[in-house]
């Protein structure tokens, strides 16, 4: 048995990030739990897992993204895996162009695109040092289809997917960069929203797998991408086959 691997999962106090952390822990990967605000939930999750650490950091802020990575490396002495999961949206009907103003674009891009970029930049020297680093970015079906909670959100996910390909092209052979693109997943984000409830009904009625995704489904796919040692620059859809209809 070699030294256990170390992962950072951004935005992991709830939902998909939380499921990824729990899946990694089950695989013996030591994981850093992160959130910008939900400190209590993050600390509780880290305390429930063997050798996990909680670090509060808003990854849309460059200095805090760097501190997240630096604290990880100070604590564990290495970083093998980065999962860029922290993301946000603002539901805006696509036809309401005026409602998707610059402040909506900036808010979403600051976290989804810049947050992913600057956390990755901070992590690269450490991932490279392991000789087999892995980055997994969390996109969305909205990144490749004309769908999603708003145009700025969908475009931010398309940017993440192209960033995945561009970085995969430059960071090999020491680092692989892949993405996972979930369809509708039941998380605190989607709970209690009419917008998502309508989509959920359609998903249950007409997609091949006839159910909404669970955070564990996405975690399983993230782990698969971490283990896909000859794949880089790929986006894995985790949508129950929704793209087929």
Residue 10 touches ligand NAD, criterion: CB under 6 A? yes
Stretch that binds ligand NAD, among 9-17, 47-55, 120-128, 226-234 (CB under 6 A): 9-17
Nearest residue (CB) to ligand NAD, 42 versus 133:
42
The count of residues in the chain is 245
Interaction pattern, residues 71-110, with ligand NAD; x per rule: CB under 6 A: --------------xxxx----------------------
Name which position in 11, 133, 152, 240 contacts ligand NAD (CB under 6 A): 11
Name which position in 14, 71, 130, 220 contacts ligand NAD (CB under 6 A): 14
Residue 140 touches ligand NAD, criterion: CB under 6 A? yes
The interface with ligand NAD within residues 104-123 (CB under 6 A) comprises 111
Whether 233 and 178 have beta carbons less than 8 Å apart is answered as yes
CB within 8 Å of 109: residues ≥ 6 apart: 152, 156, 159
Q: DSSP 3-state assignment of 8?
A: strand
Whether 237 and 183 have beta carbons less than 8 Å apart is answered as yes
Instruction: Please give the sequence-ordered ranges of beta strands (E in DSSP) within the chain, or none if there are none.
Output: 6-9, 30-35, 53-56, 81-84, 133-138, 175-182, 235-238
Evaluate the omega torsion of the peptide bond into residue 173 and state whether it is cis, within 30 degrees of 0.
yes
Q: How many residues bind ligand NAD (CB under 6 A)?
A: 30
Residue 13 touches ligand NAD, criterion: CB under 6 A? yes
The interface with ligand NAD within residues 166-225 (CB under 6 A) comprises 182, 184-185, 187-190
Q: How many CA atoms lie within 13 A of 59 on its CB side?
A: 34
C-alpha to C-alpha distances, 118 to 143, 185, 232, nearest whole angstrom: 20, 26, 20
- Is 153 among the catalytic positions? yes
| Active-site option among 54, 76, 153, 230 | 153
Name which position in 12, 119, 120, 207 contacts ligand NAD (CB under 6 A): 12
CB of 173 to ligand NAD, least distance (A): 28
What span, in angstroms and rounded, lies between the C-alpha atoms of 64 and 154?
25
Which residues would be at the binding site for ligand NAD (CB under 6 A)?
Answer: 10-17, 34-38, 58-60, 85-88, 111, 138, 140, 182, 184-185, 187-190
| Catalytic machinery residues | 153
């Amino acid at each position: 048995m070699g030294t256990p691997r170390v992962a950072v999962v951004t935005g992991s106090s709830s939902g998909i990030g939380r499921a990824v952390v729990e899946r990694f822990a089950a695989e013996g990967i030591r994981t850093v739990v992160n959130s910008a605000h939900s400190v209590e939930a993050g600390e509780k999750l880290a305390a429930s897992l063997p050798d996990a650490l909680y670090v509060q950091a808003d990854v849309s802020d460059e200095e805090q993204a760097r501190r997240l990575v630096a604290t990880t490396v100070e604590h564990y002495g290495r970083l093998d895996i980065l999962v860029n999961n922290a993301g946000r949206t603002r539901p805006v009907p696509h036809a309401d162009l005026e409602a998707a103003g610059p402040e909506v674009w900036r808010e979403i891009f600051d976290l989804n695109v810049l947050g992913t970029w600057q956390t990755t930049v901070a992590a690269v020297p450490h991932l490279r040092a392991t000789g087999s680093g892995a980055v997994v970015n969390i996109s969305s079906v909205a990144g490749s289809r004309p769908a999603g909670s708003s145009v700025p959100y969908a475009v931010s996910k398309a940017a993440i997917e192209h960033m995945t390909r561009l970085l995969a092209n430059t960071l090999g052979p020491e680092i692989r960069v892949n993405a996972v693109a979930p369809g509708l997943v039941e998380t605190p984000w989607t709970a209690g929203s009419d917008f998502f409830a309508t989509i959920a009904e359609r998903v249950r009625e007409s997609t091949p797998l006839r159910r909404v995704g669970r955070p564990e489904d996405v975690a399983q796919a993230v782990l698969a991408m971490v283990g896909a040692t000859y794949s880089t620059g790929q986006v894995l859809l985790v949508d129950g086959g929704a793209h087929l209809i």
